[in-house]
């Protein structure tokens, strides 16, 4: 019997927000599976450079500095990324912001709502639109024309009090996944979604390390802890592999069972 392998040799992937956390873990696993990877960063230049070196240097992995706040930003990143290795086969939309302070809807500022929407949703429209155009324009050399994986959240499924801006954008990504699947699967472009729960990253560190809130969070996760970035990255890589060729429009919950008891 042949060994089971998530072999992505020959494929090129773009990972947004790839310099740290879930994004960096995804970059590493994609490289381990044989893909060449382009990722963007906003400010973490040193971390990005370290990750590129760890992944074999510019021949295999390239970091691009690019803000993602608008459709224009998303389109620019895809166009720049496609020029690096001459094609793109997978898009992993991982970037996003979660304002950590509680913001009741009655007092949430217009600026916070607009910024969260711009980063978490508007830029995604630009990324996806440009990625589909890129896939349509380049030669198809694999069974699937391409893979798109959107990173949502448990908040997008059941909401999150005092973080309505974040929950709304992540819920929209679930709707976008289903809409794009219906539209693009007949053309060989498979779109899926991974919805993490609490994950131990820089973005969530303040909440998870809080002496009161941290234990409260753990208490509602059946496995009793937050996830590790690698535990989110592995399902993402699977969804970009040939083994996921019959999966489209799905939301894969990776949350330690939290949604089931939420």
* Tens digit of each residue's pLDDT (9 = 90 or more) over 76-116: 999 999 999 999 999 999 999 998 889 999 999 999 999 99
* Residues, the chain: 262
Count CB-CB contacts under 10 A for residue 234. 17
Residue 181 φ/ψ, nearest 5 degrees: -60, -45
Mean of the pLDDT values across residues 238-254? Answer: 97
> Under the phi-then-psi rule, with left for phi > 0, alpha for psi from -120 to 50, and beta for the rest, what region is 241?
beta
Q: Kindly report each contact of residues 244-249 with a partner whose C-beta sits within 8 Å and lies 24 or more positions away, as own/partner.
A: 244/147, 244/190, 244/192, 245/143, 245/144, 245/190, 247/190, 247/192, 248/181, 248/185, 248/190, 248/191, 248/192, 249/177, 249/178, 249/180, 249/181, 249/182, 249/185, 249/191, 249/192
**Which domains does the chain possess?**
12-199+229-255 (3.40.50.720)
With 90 as the cut, is the pLDDT of residue 261 above it? no
Mean pLDDT of 139-155: 96
- Residue 244 confidence (pLDDT) above 90: yes
pLDDT for 134? 98
* Tokens found for residue 104: 């009741």
**Across the strands, what pairs with 227?**
199
Mode of pairing for the β-strands spanning 12-15 and 146-151: unpaired
Pairing of strands 12-15, 36-41: parallel
Please indicate, yes or no, whether the overall pTM of this predicted structure exceeds 0.75.
Answer: yes
Active-site residue list: 166
Contact 77, 68 (CB under 8 A): yes
* Residues 6 or more apart in contact with residue 218 via CB below 8 angstroms: 224, 225, 226
**Tell me: the pLDDT tens digits for 8-42?**
999 999 999 999 999 999 999 999 999 999 999 99
Cα–Cα distance between 30 and 250 in angstroms, integer? 20
Q: Which residue has the higher pLDDT, 86 or 214?
A: 86
Model confidence band, residue 202 (pLDDT cutoffs 50, 70, 90): confident
- pLDDT for residue 204: 78
Q: How does the average pLDDT of the chain come out, rounded?
A: 94
pLDDT band at residue 187 using 50, 70 and 90 as cut-offs: very high
**Which strands make up the sheet holding 36-41, listed edge to edge?**
61-65, 36-41, 12-15, 90-93, 146-151, 189-196, 251-254
- Nearest alpha carbon to residue 261 among 233, 224, 227: 224
HSE-up (13 A, CA, CB side) for residue 196: 25
pLDDT band at 216 (very low <50, low <70, confident <90, very high): confident
pLDDT for the residue 262: 45
The pLDDT value recorded for residue 2 is: 63
Query: What gap in Å lies between CA 213 and CA 219, rounded to an integer?
Result: 10
Least confident piece of the model among 71-85, 148-162, 209-223: 209-223
User: How far apart are alpha carbons 240 and 13 in whole angstroms?
Assistant: 9
């Amino acid at each position: 019997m042949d060994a089971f392998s998530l072999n992505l040799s020959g494929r090129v992937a773009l990972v947004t927000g790839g310099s740290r956390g879930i994004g960096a873990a995804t970059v590493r696993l994609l490289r381990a599976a044989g893909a060449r990877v382009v990722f963007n960063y906003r400010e973490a230049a040193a971390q990005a450079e370290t990750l590129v070196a760890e992944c074999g240097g510019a021949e295999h992995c390239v970091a691009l500095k690019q803000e993602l706040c608008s459709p224009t930003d998303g389109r620019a990143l895809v166009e720049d990324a496609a020029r690096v290795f001459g094609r793109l086969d997978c898009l992993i939309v991982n970037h996003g912001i979660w304002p950590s302070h509680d913001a009741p809807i009655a007092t949430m500022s217009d600026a916070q709502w607009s910024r969260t929407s711009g980063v978490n949703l508007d830029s995604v429209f630009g990324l996806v639109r440009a990625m589909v155009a890129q896939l349509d324009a380049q030669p198809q050399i694999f069974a699937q024309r391409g893979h798109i994986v959107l990173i949502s959240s448990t908040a997008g499924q059941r909401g999150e009090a005092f973080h309505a801006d974040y929950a709304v954008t992540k819920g929209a990504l679930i709707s976008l996944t289903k809409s794009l699947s219906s539209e693009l699967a007949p053309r060989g472009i498979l779109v899926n979604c991974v919805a993490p729960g609490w994950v131990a990253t820089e973005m969530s560190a303040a909440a998870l390390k809080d002496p009161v809130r941290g234990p409260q969070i753990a208490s509602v996760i059946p496995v009793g802890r937050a996830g590790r970035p690698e535990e989110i990255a592995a399902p993402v890589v699977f969804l970009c592999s040939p083994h996921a060729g019959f999966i489209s429009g799905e939301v894969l919950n990776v949350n330690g069972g939290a949604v089931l008891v939420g």
